[in-house]
Amino acid sequence: MTIPIKLPNPPKYFTDEIMTEKDWEEYYADRKRLDVPVPQDEELNMLMKAAEACQKEDKTEFREISSHIPCDPAWALAIKDCHGFKAVSKRNLIEAKKVFPNDF
């Protein structure tokens, strides 16, 4: 996986994160794997499955399902700005990239 020449805007408030070349490769591999459009009915189905996994206290299944649900753009930007790229790397950022194209 190649890293783009222009990286996204850095987090505004979280200055402790140092992204290595390997971290960026993993981040962009996650973008390729996770940032896919999800139809609204499928998203609702995913939310229901995530809620069921939460009720069963199955954290692994919950994380796997929830990572594919598109994140709210404002939420994704706030998490990135306060906690860095690693905090949002395992999430579907397709909607966030539409609203904030220079931040993800």
What per-residue confidence (pLDDT) applies to 100? 98
Is residue 12 a part of any domain in this protein?
A: no
Cα separation, 59 vs 52, in Å, equals 11
pLDDT along the chain (104 residues), means of 10: 88 92 96 96 97 96 96 97 96 98 96
Q: Which domain covers residue 101, as residue numbers?
A: 70-104
Query: What distances in angstroms separate CA 25 from CA 5, 31, 42, 48, one per listed residue?
Result: 12, 10, 29, 32
Cα separation, 62 vs 84, in Å, equals 22
Cα separation, 39 vs 27, in Å, equals 24
**Do 103 and 76 share a structural domain?**
yes
Is residue 13 a part of any domain in this protein?
A: no
What per-residue confidence (pLDDT) applies to 5? 87
Tokens of 52: 């069921």
CB 94 within 8 A of CB 36: yes
What per-residue confidence (pLDDT) applies to 4? 87
Indicate the number of domains in the chain.
2
What per-residue confidence (pLDDT) applies to 2? 78
* Cβ atoms within 10 Å, residue 70: 21
